[in-house]
Amino acid sequence: MGAKDVSEKILVAYNDVAADILNVLVCNGQRLFEPEMLRETSVVSQYKMDGKLHHQERDVAKFVIDQETNAIIACCGFENQTKVDNRMPLRVIGYDGASYHNQQNNAELYEVITFVLYFGERHWYAPRNLQGCINRRCDKLPDTVRNDYKINVYEIAYLTQEQIDMFQSDFKYVAEYMVQKRTNKEYQPSSGVIKHVDAVLKLLSAVSGNPNFELIIPDVEEGGLNTMDAMIARFEKRAEARGEARGLNIGENIANTNFATEMIKDGEPVSKIQKYTKLTLDRLEEIAKSLNVKLVM
């Protein structure tokens, strides 16, 4: 497991943050989930393939507990994505299927639901259901017999200000940063005390690709800085000391080039890449050549 993967998981693993995400993104601001209703559960499951035992691991998984009966009434999985995954529905099926498989001997079954938190600056362009992933079809079979499986994708960088204001946990500051990074290219932090300082900075470092967020953690902890504006001031001071450009300015060309690179690697057609990046064909050919791959026309 890479350090970046771990960093992306830490903040969402806190019960107050997970409950807040469910209340805002899933329940449209209704405070239906409390941190006390959530309980940690294993993120690792096993499956057998080719006679060998393999394991798969979710990012974060929480049991939802009925506080009157103490019974498990749901399992909520959270997957953090900084990049688009064309096979995400297959991954989610694997996670959810393993959770249902573990209930085979239960007298009563609880439901399993996965939520994909996508932190990319561009819209999620990949399939959101199983049928969208399938390229080969048997035309002899009627659609009525085909199974499908959808995934729940939440584009954090495209949340509205109304949604951001609904958050009561530290996730508000991450969402606020992602939206402003996409729209303004410069982050103006709001006021408020941060509870999970270490986790917030590590997540911002992971989703922004800027290590300065994580590098200021010792300074922040030593100075007792627990507000976003104080941490950003320290962030910019460090960037200036290193002779870097303003740390939170995002170059549009760099962002588009990085995005196009990932889409070319994924085998996306040129028309789709140009739609999302606005790069010229010549520029895409240069990127493809550097990757030693051919563009899909």
From first to last of the 297 residues of the chain, give the pLDDT tens digit.
444 454 556 899 999 999 999 999 999 999 999 999 999 987 665 444 455 544 567 889 999 999 999 999 999 999 999 999 999 999 999 999 999 999 999 999 999 999 999 999 899 999 999 999 999 999 999 999 999 999 999 999 999 999 999 999 999 999 999 999 898 877 888 888 899 999 999 999 888 877 788 888 888 887 887 888 888 888 777 766 655 544 444 444 556 777 888 888 888 888 888 877 778 888 888 888 888 888 988
Query: Considering the domain boundaries, does residue 118 fall inside one?
Result: yes
CA dist 95 and 101 (Å) reads 10
Query: Considering the domain boundaries, does residue 11 fall inside one?
Result: yes
Query: Considering the domain boundaries, does residue 244 fall inside one?
Result: no
31 and 149, same domain (yes or no): yes
146 and 266, same domain (yes or no): no
| 72-81 vs 60-65, strand pairing mode | antiparallel
How many domains is the chain built from?
2
Domain end, chosen from 101, 131, 158, is at 158
Query: Considering the domain boundaries, does residue 225 fall inside one?
Result: no
151 and 18, same domain (yes or no): yes
17 and 137, same domain (yes or no): yes
153 and 11, same domain (yes or no): yes
276 and 139, same domain (yes or no): no
| Angle subtended by helix axes 171-183 and 197-208, to nearest 10 | 30
Q: Is the C-alpha dihedral spanning 157, 160, 162, 163 positive or negative?
A: negative
For 170-187, give the secondary structure using H, E and C.
CHHHHHHHHHHHHHCCCC
- Torsions phi, psi for 195 (to 5 deg): -85, -45
Domain end, chosen from 158, 186, 205, is at 158
Query: Considering the domain boundaries, does residue 271 fall inside one?
Result: yes
Predicted local confidence at residue 288, as pLDDT: 86
Tokens 């297959």 belong to residue: 90
Query: Considering the domain boundaries, does residue 35 fall inside one?
Result: yes
Predicted local confidence at residue 31, as pLDDT: 97
149 and 264, same domain (yes or no): no
278 and 138, same domain (yes or no): no
CA dist 290 and 288 (Å) reads 5
Instruction: Please count the other Cβ atoms lying within 10 Å of the Cβ belonging to residue 183.
Output: 11
Predicted local confidence at residue 54, as pLDDT: 45
For the chain, give the secondary structure using H, E and C.
CCHHHHHHHHCCCCHHHHHHHHHHHHCCCCCCCCHHHEEECCCEEEEEECCEEEEEECCEEEEEECCCCCCEEEEEEEEEECCCCCCHHHHHHHHHHHHHHCCCCCCCCCEEEEEEEECCCCCCCCCCEHHHHCCCCCCCCCHHHCCCCECEEEEHHHCCHHHHHHCCCCHHHHHHHHHHHHHCCCCCCCCCECCCHHHHHHHHHHHHCCCHHHHCHHHHHHHCCCEHHHHHHHHHHHHHHCCCCCCCCCCHHHHHHHHHHHHHHCCCEHHHHHHHHCCCHHHHHHHHHHHCCCCEC
CA dist 188 and 181 (Å) reads 9
Domain that holds residue 65: 3-158
9 and 117, same domain (yes or no): yes
Rg (the chain; Cα; Å): 21
276 and 144, same domain (yes or no): no
142 and 19, same domain (yes or no): yes
147 and 24, same domain (yes or no): yes
Query: Considering the domain boundaries, does residue 97 fall inside one?
Result: yes
Query: Considering the domain boundaries, does residue 12 fall inside one?
Result: yes
Domain end, chosen from 97, 132, 158, is at 158
